[in-house]
């Protein structure tokens, strides 16, 4: 039964990611035509994680795009448990990547590309895209985390963020409830990550 629940939850996440990509494409077409249907873009707290970027895919932290070919990473994210150790490395990698983007126009232009329409023949396109740029992968790796874990943790964080206010409402994946509870105690870091991903000024509180 636990295996069935895990597979079902993973499928739901993949379906949700695909739906987000479709909504993104529809919204981009509307914007090109000069109008946006606000009714099609809900702003409830449960949906904010999937509406934070142009790709409108549930991911947290800069540089991550999810394509239809990243199903393995999406499934792995349903089993990825957030800990103080791996989360601190993720935040450090996000800071490093954000700083690199600000000072290096080549990296900035690279990360600005939209790859969410990758074809089915390009498996793991979103994750491989981070590896393909040496400067990007080095910024992540130097923070003590692999690009693979950075990518998967980005998805795990965004999924858990949706249930921070009510962890018991999370779907029955192995770790989603635990991850939601973990993020409740790390709201400051999460707000910091959101600022990095949206490109907003990062406010640093000093004692």
**Token pair of 73 as six digits:** 């990473």
- pLDDT of the residue at 200: 56
- pLDDT of the residue at 197: 83
- DSSP label at 168? G
- Please return the burial class of 44, using the count of CB atoms within 10 Å of its CB with bins 0-12, 13-18 and 19+: exposed
Radius of gyration of the chain (CA): 16
- pLDDT of the residue at 116: 84
- First and final CA of the chain: distance in angstroms? 49
Residue stretches of the chain with pLDDT short of 50: 1-57, 201-207
What is d(CA 148, CA 77) in angstroms, rounded to the nearest whole number?
A: 11
Percent of the chain having pLDDT more than 70? 68
- pLDDT of the residue at 57: 43
**Token pair of 141 as six digits:** 């790796």
- pLDDT of the residue at 157: 96
- pLDDT of the residue at 45: 31
Closest-CA residue to 91 (of 199, 195, 206):
195
Secondary structure (3-state) at 113: coil
- pLDDT of the residue at 147: 97
Secondary structure (3-state) at 121: coil
The domains of the chain are located at: 2-198
∠ CA 104-105-108, rounded to 5°: 90
- pLDDT of the residue at 77: 94
**Token pair of 206 as six digits:** 């000093």
Residue with tokens 């954000």: 98
Q: Tell how far CA 12 is from the center of its chain.
A: 16
- pLDDT of the residue at 50: 30
């Amino acid at each position: 039964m636990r295996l069935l629940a895990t597979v079902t939850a993973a499928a739901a996440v993949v379906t949700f990611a695909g739906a987000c990509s479709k909504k993104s494409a529809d919204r981009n077409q509307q914007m090109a035509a000069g109008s946006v249907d606000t009714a099609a873009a809900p702003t409830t707290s449960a949906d904010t994680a999937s509406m934070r970027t142009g790709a409108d895919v549930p991911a947290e932290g800069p540089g991550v795009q999810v394509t239809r070919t990243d199903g393995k990473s999406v499934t792995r994210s349903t089993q990825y448990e957030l800990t103080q150790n791996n989360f601190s490395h993720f935040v450090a990698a996000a800071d490093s990547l954000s700083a690199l983007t600000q000072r290096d126009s080549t990296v900035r232009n690279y990360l600005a590309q939209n790859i969410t329409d990758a074809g089915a023949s390009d498996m793991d396109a979103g994750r491989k895209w981070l590896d393909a740029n040496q400067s990007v992968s080095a910024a992540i790796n130097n923070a003590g985390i692999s690009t693979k874990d950075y990518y998967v943790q980005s998805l795990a964080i965004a999924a858990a963020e949706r249930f921070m206010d009510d962890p018991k409402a999370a779907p029955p994946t192995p770790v989603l409830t635990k991850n939601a509870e973990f993020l409740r105690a790390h709201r400051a870091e999460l707000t910091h990550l959101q600022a990095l991903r949206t490109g907003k000024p990062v406010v640093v509180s000093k004692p």
